[in-house]
Chain A
Amino acid sequence: MSTEAKAAPRKRSKRLPLTYVIAIVPVAAALNIVGGYINGVLKLPIFLDMIGTMVTAVVLGPWWGALVGAITNIVSSFISGPIGLPFAVVNVAGALVWGYAHSMGWMRKNWSFFLVNILVATVCSIFAVPIYVFIFGGATGHFSDVMTAAFLAMGQNLIVSVFSSNILVSLADKIISGYVGLAIIEALPTNLTETTKLPKAEGLNKIIIPVVGVVVGAAIILIFLALQ
C-alpha cells in the first residue's frame, strides 16, 4: 500500500483552495447576522444567529466555525450596537462543540446528532449566563427576559433564573439551527461535503415535535425545581 493511501484524509479546509475557504466565512457570518436580524424584527423567541456557524464548523472545521462566530458578533456590533459583542464567546463555544463533535464522529446517527445539538445548547447557556448576569444584569431586551421574570417570581435567584430561561430558548434555538444547518449542508456542492458524516436531513415538520418535546420537558423540570 502506498504512503498516500495509508495517510489519513486531509482536512476539508486544507484540500480546498484558501480563497474558497476565505470566501465561505463571510457568507456564513452574513447569514448569521441576517438570521439574527430577521429574528429580531419578527420578535421570535429564539436567536437564529448560529446557523452559519454550525455549517462552517461541520464543513470546514471547528476553528473556521469559531472564526465565523467571532466575526458574526464583531460585525453585528457595527450594525446593531455593542450589546452583542461579549456574546462572541458563546458563538465561538458553540462552533467548537459542533466542529469537534463532528470530527469525533458524534453526529453520524440521528439520535446522536440531536444530542450534540442539546450539548451545544447547554454549553452556550453556560457561557452566556455569566455575560447576561454580570455585564447586562440579566436582561438584554430578548423574549427570554419574560421567562427570567417568571422564574424570579417563583423565588429563584438571578443566576438560576437567567440560566433557566436561557437554556429553554437555547435548546429550541440550537436544535433548530442544527437541523437547518443539516439541510443546508445536504444542499451544498459535493466538493465541500464529501467527507462529512451526518444523518439525512429531516423535514422541519418532523423536527418541531422533538424540539417542542425537549423544551417543554426542560421547562417542566425547571419549574418543578424552582417550586421545590
Chain B
Amino acid sequence: MQGIVIPITMVPGNSTIHRMNPLPKLLWTLGILALSFSTRNIAVLGVAFLIGLLLVFYSGITKAYVRVAMILFPISLTLITLQSIAPAFPRPWTAIVGFGPFTIYQEGIYSGISLLLRIMAMTTWAMVTIMTSHPSDIFTSLKKIGMPYVLNFIFVMTLQLIPILQSEFGIVLNAQKSRAMKGSGFGAILPSMVPVFVGAIERVQQLSISLESRAFGSSGQKTSFRQVRMAFSDYVALFLGFLVPGAATYWVIVDKSLDWSHSMVFSPAFAITLVLGATIGFLIFVFFAIRAALSA
C-alpha cells in the first residue's frame, strides 16, 4: 500500500558496521522504530536521526543513502504543507499566520517537523541495517534465533524471485511491443501480469518436486550455505540494543513533559518561509505526478 518504491540493496564495504552480525543491527533498528513511533518530541527524533546519519557516514554508504533521501524528499514536502494547514493533532489549534485561504497552525508546524524527523530517523536506521547486511545473512541469523525454517525459506525465496519476475515483465512487455501492442503504461502492465504470474506458478510445480525430493519439512538440523557468526562485540551491541532504545522508549512514554507541541513557539516569518518553500516543492511534485499519470 505504500506510495513509493525505492530499490535498496546492500552496498559492499568493510566497515565495522558491515562486519557486524545482522542481529544487533536489526534489534537497534527495531528499537529506533519503537522509539520513533512512541514520541513526537523533535529533540528525541532529531538525535535518533543524527546518530543514524553518523552511522551512514561511518559505514561509507553515503552516496546510496543520499539517493534514497532524494526520493523521500517529496514526501517531506507534502508532509510539511499538509500538516501546517491541517495538523494531525486534536483541536484546539493555535493560529500563527494566514497563508492565502489557509491558516498556518503552531501544532501543524510542530507536527510536520516531528513526523518528518520520525520518517527520516526510521528510514536512516533501516538503511544502515539493509545497506550493510547481505539479505541471506539477515535470514540466516534469524533462523539461528528460532525463526521457523519454512518462514525463512519463504522470505529468501521472495527476495530471490523479485529480480526474476521483474526481468520476465520486461520480456513480456518487449514481446507485446514486437507484436505492435502497447508496450508501456497502464494498458500494457495489467495484461502482462497474467503470463508472468501463471508462468511463475507453473515453475512452482517443479520447485515443489525438488523440495519434496530434498525432504523439505523433515525434522533435524538445517544447514545454510552462508555462515554468520556472533563475536563478543556483537553480543555487547545486542545487549545495548535491548537496553538503550528500550530505556529511551520507556522514558518518552512516561515523561509527559516531552510533549512540546504547545510550548514550542514558531515565529510567523519562520512558519511562512517553511510552508512556502514546502508548498513550492509540493506543487512541482504535483505537476510531475499529474504529467506522469496522464502519460501512463
A interface residues, Cβ below 8 angstroms from B: 17-20, 22-31, 33-45, 47-52, 55, 67, 71, 73-85, 87, 90-91, 124, 128, 133-146, 148-149, 152-153, 157-158, 161, 176, 180, 183-184, 187-189, 192, 204
Q: Which of A85, A128, A137, A141 lies in contact with B115, CB distance below 8 A?
A: A137
Given contacts A31-B165, A33-B158, A143-B289, A189 and B202 within 8 Å (CB-CB): yes
Q: How far is the CA of A152 from the CA of B103 in the complex (A)?
A: 12
Nearest 7 Cβ contacts at the A-B interface: A142-B3, A84-B2, A43-B292, A40-B5, A26-B157, A30-B161, A87-B1
B contact patch SS: helix
Q: Which residue of B lies closest to A46 (CB)?
A: B186
Q: Using an 8 Å CB-CB cutoff, how does the interface string of B277-288 with A read, 1 for contact, 0 for none?
A: 000001001101
B72: A residues at CB distance < 8 A: 81, 141
Chain A residues, Cβ within 8 Å of B190: 176, 180, 204
Q: How far is the CA of A180 from the CA of B288 in the complex (A)?
A: 28
Classify the secondary structure of A's interface with B.
helix
Inter-chain contact count A-B, CB under 8 Å?
246
Are the CB atoms of B201 and A189 closer together than 8 Å?
yes
Among B1, B33, B118, contact of A47 (Cβ-Cβ < 8 Å): B1
Q: B87, B119, B138, B216: which has the most chain A beta carbons within 10 Å? A: B119
Does B276 belong to the interface (CB within 8 Å)? Answer: no
Residue of B nearest to A45 (CB): B293
Find the A residue at minimum CB distance from B202: A189
- Docked complex Cα distance between A84 and B6 (Å): 11
Among B4, B88, B216, B285, the residue within 8 A (CB) of A80 is B4
Q: Is B127 an interface residue (CB 8 A)?
A: yes
Which residues of chain B (151-170) have a CB below 8 Å from chain A? 153-155, 157-159, 161-162, 164-166, 169
Kindly state whether residue B191 has any CB partner on chain A within 8 Å.
yes
